[in-house]
């Protein structure tokens, strides 16, 4: 990529010094070590999946636990963890989640053609670890959302290099582990990439179908988990959900009206994502902002919708900071992230049971900010970086990952 010297972009894409990398390593190591100290079995959410795999190994049904919200294929994927002792998982899982988040950041950078040795690479990941609370939450929980945080930028990176079928297979593999990236199927539909769409559908369908045959109740996901998700009436889960469909009823809005408003907002977001794709300007912002827009729109209406889901979209948008007209260049992108600053106390919203209101603010403001890119267009629609110089798509496409 070409760099300039007239604004912060040129500074960000220059090589980072050794001290920045040392700080990053210390921060990530501290994050993983802290999680290992305060959690057991590699995090509460990871323990749910591991417990389901152990139940299946003992001859039971993993869907006896209503909080196991994954496809049957995830049970088999969790078997290696189920065979490990808790003391090993306690150390292994936080380290693995941290490493995967770093890999997700690297994929987002390469999608935007930002050098992996740049200052943005070091400072961006440090900032996410230190200044974005969902990062630490995900490491401590060990939630399999981390597979989606890696799969989305990786699939978009492959798509940017013309490898759409491989991109679809990556999304399909992530959906087989956790169906969080299902909205990305619309991107393949927008692009008319039918092989990629088929791969994204067939991979989880075949993997789950084969795994279901080994379950005591092959249809457990449809007979137990799906109704649980559609009802969304779990008292414990509701306290941590960030979608308007869950938060508005806590403010006195009737449940039906809240769901209708959330659905309308999600549909508007999808329409804006489609318009963003149709704009067809060159550069990586088109893929990144369309993919992030689809995911944020889904989070507005999905049940459940947690704060760590934001990690699917935020690093992808932040990596576009060197590009004029990117979402990360807008003030509302940064305003949306303010409630996620760790240690910042908010009156009446400081308890864990009320942090969903802060998460809902971030989700809604971020979704609207990304949607505006599709509705009105970016000031610099060409995705130039920086100082009006155009990126070099052909050269960037040949850059090794």
- Rounded Cα–Cα distance for residues 260 and 245 (Å): 8
320 pLDDT above the threshold of 90: yes
pLDDT score for 231:
66
- Rounded Cα–Cα distance for residues 126 and 26 (Å): 10
Tens-digit pLDDT profile for residues 112-162: 999 999 999 999 999 999 999 999 999 999 999 999 999 999 999 999 999
Handedness of CA 212, 213, 217, 222 (dihedral sign): positive
- The residues facing 198 across adjacent strands are none
CA atoms within 13 A on the CB side of 25: 5
102 pLDDT above the threshold of 80: yes
- Rounded Cα–Cα distance for residues 363 and 295 (Å): 11
Q: What is the DSSP-derived secondary structure letter of residue 182? A: G
CA-based nearest residue to 369, from 269, 283, 270, 300: 269
236 pLDDT above the threshold of 70: no
Q: Are 41 and 50 in contact (CB under 8 A)?
A: yes
Q: Are 36 and 193 in contact (CB under 8 A)?
A: no
Distances (CA, A) of 120 to 4, 7, 106, 280: 15, 14, 11, 26
23 pLDDT above the threshold of 80: yes
DSSP three-state, residue 142: coil
- Rounded Cα–Cα distance for residues 133 and 395 (Å): 36
Highest mean pLDDT among 97-106, 318-327, 365-374: 97-106
Distances (CA, A) of 77 to 72, 107, 146, 208: 9, 23, 14, 11
pTM (predicted TM-score): 0.89
Instruction: Out of 32-41, 180-189, 236-245, pick the least confident.
Output: 236-245
CA angle 191, 311, 350 (to 5 degrees): 140
Q: What is the mean pLDDT of the chain?
A: 86
Mean pLDDT of 248-275: 92
pLDDT score for 222:
82
Instruction: Out of 115-124, 229-238, 380-389, pick the least confident.
Output: 380-389
Residue 87 class from Cβ within 10 Å (0-12 exposed, 13-18 middle, 19+ buried)? exposed
Which residues does 194 contact at the CB level (< 8 Å), separation at least 6?
A: 188
pLDDT score for 86:
85
Percent of the chain with pLDDT strictly greater than 90: 59
Mean pLDDT of 269-282: 90
- Rounded Cα–Cα distance for residues 177 and 396 (Å): 31
Q: Are 276 and 373 in contact (CB under 8 A)?
A: yes
Location of structure tokens 């380290």: 95
Q: How confident is the model at residue 395 (pLDDT cuts 50, 70, 90)?
A: very low
- Rounded Cα–Cα distance for residues 111 and 98 (Å): 20
Q: Are 157 and 284 in contact (CB under 8 A)?
A: no
CA angle 119, 121, 125 (to 5 degrees): 115
Tens-digit pLDDT profile for residues 326-363: 999 999 999 999 999 988 777 776 666 788 889 999 99
392 pLDDT above the threshold of 60: no
250 pLDDT above the threshold of 50: yes
Count of helices and strands (H, E) across the chain: 21, 0
Which residues does 148 contact at the CB level (< 8 Å), separation at least 6?
A: 174, 178, 180, 181, 312
76 pLDDT above the threshold of 80: yes
- The residues facing 118 across adjacent strands are 15
């Amino acid at each position: 990529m070409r760099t300039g010297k007239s604004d912060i972009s040129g500074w960000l894409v220059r090589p980072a010094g050794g001290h920045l990398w040392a700080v990053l390593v210390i921060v990530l190591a501290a994050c993983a070590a802290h999680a290992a100290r305060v959690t057991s079995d590699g995090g509460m959410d990871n323990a749910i999946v591991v417990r389901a795999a152990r139940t299946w190994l003992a001859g039971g049904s993993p869907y006896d636990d209503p909080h196991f919200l994954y496809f049957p294929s995830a049970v088999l994927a969790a078997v290696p963890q189920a065979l490990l002792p808790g003391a090993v998982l306690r150390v292994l899982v936080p380290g693995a989640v941290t490493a995967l988040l770093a890999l997700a950041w690297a994929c987002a950078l390469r999608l935007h053609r930002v050098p992996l040795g740049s200052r943005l690479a070091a400072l961006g990941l440090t900032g996410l670890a230190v200044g974005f609370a969902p990062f630490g939450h995900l490491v401590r929980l060990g939630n399999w959302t981390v597979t989606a945080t890696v799969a989305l930028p990786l699939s978009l990176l492959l798509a940017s290099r013309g490898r759409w079928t491989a991109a679809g297979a990556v999304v399909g593999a992530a959906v087989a582990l956790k169906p969080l990236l299902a909205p990305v199927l619309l991107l393949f539909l927008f692009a008319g990439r039918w092989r990629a769409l088929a791969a994204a559908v067939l991979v989880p369908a075949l993997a789950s179908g084969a795994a279901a045959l080994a379950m005591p109740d092959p249809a457990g996901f449809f007979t137990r988990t799906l109704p649980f998700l559609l009802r969304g009436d779990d008292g414990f889960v509701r306290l941590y959900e960030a979608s308007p469909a869950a938060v508005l009823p806590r403010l006195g809005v009737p449940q039906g009206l809240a769901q209708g408003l959330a659905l309308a907002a999600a549909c508007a977001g999808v329409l804006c994502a489609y318009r963003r794709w149709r704009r067809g300007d060159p550069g990586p912002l088109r893929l990144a902002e369309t993919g992030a827009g689809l995911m944020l729109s889904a989070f507005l209406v999905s049940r459940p919708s947690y704060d760590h889901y934001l990690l699917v979209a935020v690093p992808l948008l932040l990596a576009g900071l060197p590009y004029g007209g990117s979402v990360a260049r807008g003030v509302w992108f940064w305003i949306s992230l303010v409630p996620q600053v760790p240690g910042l106390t908010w009156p009446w919203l400081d308890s864990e049971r009320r942090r969903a209101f802060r998460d809902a603010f971030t989700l809604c403001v971020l979704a609207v900010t990304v949607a505006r890119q599709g509705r009105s267009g970016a000031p610099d629609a060409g995705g130039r970086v920086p100082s009006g110089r155009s990126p070099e798509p052909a050269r960037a496409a040949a850059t090794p990952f």
